[in-house]
Homo-oligomer: A and B are copies of this chain.
Amino acid sequence: MVCAIQIYEKPELSNPVLIEGLPGIGFVANISALHLIHELDAKLFAEITSSSFQDLAVTTEKGGTRSPINQLYYHKSRDGGRDLIIWYGNTQALTTFGQYELCGRVLDLAQELGCQYIITLGGFKKEQTTKKPQIYCAATDLETLKTPLNLGAKIMVGQIFGIAGITIGLAKLRNLKAFSLLVETTGTYPDAEAARQALTALTEFLNLKTDLTRLDLAAEKTKKILESFGLIRQEQEKKKEESPFRWFV
């Protein structure tokens, strides 16, 4: 299967922007996407599972279950902003193979819905950060780069890991425009402040009026979800559970 996509609805969107918000450094993207979904009351239209996700389920407080999943939400513009596709999830894929596959499938679907513009979010790991964390940026091309620069971002120097990075690469190959907003963070906890900077820039670009006061809630919920999957913990512990025979005595 690699990726299995369940499409609940194919929304008619006008030139939508795809916003990538999977868990990563400082969980900047993940918090931001979750907050946007809540604030905009964005609508779930597709779910993706992948054989490159963890093979487990976690329980919710009430005995329901949560599985490793990626989701696509859409938001139709109300007030002159742009239509959005929000790519949210509780995991990235565990292998590079799975990452490319996942990204390719999401881009396929986004393009089918008319998307030609992508913004990926992320954290930029620093030993120390300032009170108002700086935003860095990179883009598929220098023309597209002007946009994040105009939003106050500095030019990123370094590597952009994971989905945030390969999305830019695959976008370029598909002749799509994309830029990445990467906010300074120590990356050691779900960083609401970094997410605030990302969202401030993002909503300015998208012409969205979004209340950022409840960002702490999104950060708290993100922490809870990712803890339940064991994705926030010590490197040492991880190793043990990754053993292929972990379910045996």
Tell me if A25 is interfacial: C-beta within 8 Å of chain B: yes
Tell me if A220 is interfacial: C-beta within 8 Å of chain B: no
Residue in B6, B97, B99, B187 whose CB lies within 8 Å of A249: B187
Q: Are B52 and A169 in contact (CB under 8 A)?
A: no
Tell me if A88 is interfacial: C-beta within 8 Å of chain B: no
Q: Are B4 and A168 in contact (CB under 8 A)?
A: no
Tell me if A229 is interfacial: C-beta within 8 Å of chain B: yes
Q: Are B169 and A57 in contact (CB under 8 A)?
A: yes
Contact segment of A9-17, A158-166, A204-212: A158-166
A–B complex contacts, Cβ < 8 Å, 15 sampled = A1-B104, A25-B247, A57-B165, A57-B169, A59-B138, A59-B155, A59-B157, A63-B156, A64-B140, A64-B141, A65-B138, A65-B160, A67-B173, A68-B169, A161-B241
Scan A231-249; emit 1 where CB is below 8 A from any B CB, else 0: 1100100100111111111
Q: How many chain copies does the complex carry?
A: 4
Tell me if A50 is interfacial: C-beta within 8 Å of chain B: yes
How many positions in chain A have a CB within 8 Å of any CB in the partner chain? 84
When C-beta atoms are compared, the residue in chain B nearest to A226 turns out to be B248
Tell me if A139 is interfacial: C-beta within 8 Å of chain B: yes
Residue in B49, B100, B155, B159 whose CB lies within 8 Å of A63: B155
Tell me if A172 is interfacial: C-beta within 8 Å of chain B: yes
> Which residues of B lie under 8 Å from residue A65 when comparing CB positions?
138-140, 160, 165, 168-169, 172, 180
